[in-house]
Amino acid sequence: MKFAICNLGCKVNACEAESISEALTAKGWTRSTKEEDSDAVLIFTCAVTNTASAKSRQMLHKARHANPKAVTAVVGCYAQMQDGLLDDADIIVGSSHKNELPELLEQFRQTGKKIRLIEDLKQIPFEPMPLDHFEDHSRGVLKIQDGCNQFCTYCIIPYVRGRERSLDPKTAVADAARVAQNDSEIVLTGIHTGRYGKEYNVSLAQLMKRILQEVPSLKRLRISSIEMTEVSDELIQLIKEEPRVAHHLHIPLQSGCDEILRKMGRPYDTAAYYAKIEQIRHEIPHIAISCDVIVGFPGESEEMFEKTYAFLEKCQFAFLHVFPYSLREGTKAAAMADQIDPKIKKERAEKCRRLSMKLEDAYQQAQVGSIGEVITERPHGNDTPGHTSDYIHVVIPDQKYPRGSLVRVRMKEYRSRQMIGKTESVKNDEAI
């Protein structure tokens, strides 16, 4: 039996999709890259933007057309919305019961009856989805948190992912130990990762310390994304003092205009945000900080956008993730007046993306001559790629190292938006 997986969402979606892939493989299924020769197609949907929802629908229609006999399962955030546009699927699973997908596929194959599992998300527990590793990557992903209680006015996620909940610390450490057998680096991820462990009276920094202590073979531990309000003094000190914690923080900003931040329902203003990143850089001078930014939010005037643009320049981020505002029915922002013309949103997004390239070039150029530790991916031809602690993608030319090697590299040259490195030394005894 063959199956194909399509993931249209975030790192959490990717982690969940790969977990199900491993579970199906363990039951004798074979993964395929083609829907047309698969017996089942699983689509991990996304609802964060209208475009993501549309792609989810398109992927279902594509799978149906490519192989009408295949079992189709749509899973996750957009499936949870129940807007009726995915009803052609044989199996619909929302934001819970995902770990039951192997059994649900077998159930459908035996009965032929459509399956619909959409739960009220207010009380559901954390759903463990173990994952050993991502094939061809040295970065394993460990989902430790799910859900969000913040309810920003533009965001549908709390309505489709449910309330905050966490993986219990003991299981998180055990999962990290298992992932570290295959991957040199672990990325801790969640919907609101910095809120990890509230129900266990354990902070994210405390969990990270425990993982580092109990999994000594792990070469690097990274946080996928964290809100400004969750970057605690404890976490800053851990990053400062523990070389195995990645020196990169992705801290969503969303707007550099205080009026827009208030309309978004964000729990800070630009002064507090800037003070936090200044504190981080004071303690960890060479850390890379990146952010998310949304342009074209309802009521964002040209002057307000220029405030955001100027603030992005002032913060000197390592790079930006830029999103035009996407109206989501059911959120407060959807009912706001002064929705911005799509053409204007596109223009503002393009301007910020050009700024991101400029900032990234400046950050990486400043690292030329420095030495960093690179965890390698599989060689490409005669060259070995990898990432530094501060998330610079480096290519080591004319050198082939095993996947997962820890290579001390001097940043020799940044050209054509690519960092070129030269090996200084190799800690290769535990390469994966």
Question: Which DSSP string corresponds to 140-158?
Answer: EEEE-EE------TT--HH
CATH code at position 43:
3.40.50.12160
pLDDT for residue 138: 67
Q: Mean per-residue pLDDT for 215-226?
A: 97
Shared-domain flag, residues 267 and 303:
yes
Does 86 have pLDDT greater than 90?
A: yes
Q: Is 101 part of a structural domain of the chain?
A: yes
CATH code at position 170:
3.80.30.20
Give which of 67, 421, 157 is closest to 59, Cα–Cα: 67
Q: Mean per-residue pLDDT for 316-323?
A: 98
Shared-domain flag, residues 7 and 68:
yes
Per-residue pLDDT tens digits for 195-205: 999 999 999 99
Q: Phi and psi (nearest 5°) for 129?
A: -135, 85
Shared-domain flag, residues 311 and 354:
yes
Shared-domain flag, residues 73 and 200:
no
Per-residue pLDDT tens digits for 33-62: 888 889 999 999 999 988 899 999 999 999
Instruction: Identify the three-state secondary structure at position 197.
Output: coil
Shared-domain flag, residues 197 and 296:
yes
Shared-domain flag, residues 210 and 156:
yes
Range of the structural domain that residue 176 is part of: 139-366
CATH code at position 402:
2.40.50.140
Per-residue pLDDT tens digits for 130-142: 777 665 566 889 9
Give which of 172, 115, 170, 111 is closest to 141, Cα–Cα: 172
- Kind of pairing between the strands at 320-324 and 71-76: unpaired
pTM for this prediction: 0.92
More confident residue, 130 or 266: 266
* Ranges 9-23, 85-99, 201-215: which has the least confidence: 9-23
* Ranges 209-213, 303-307, 379-383: which has the least confidence: 379-383
Element of type H or E holding 302: helix 302-315
Computed over every residue of the chain, the mean pLDDT equals: 94
Shared-domain flag, residues 145 and 167:
yes
Q: What is the DSSP letter of 253?
A: -
Count up the domains in the chain and report the number: 3
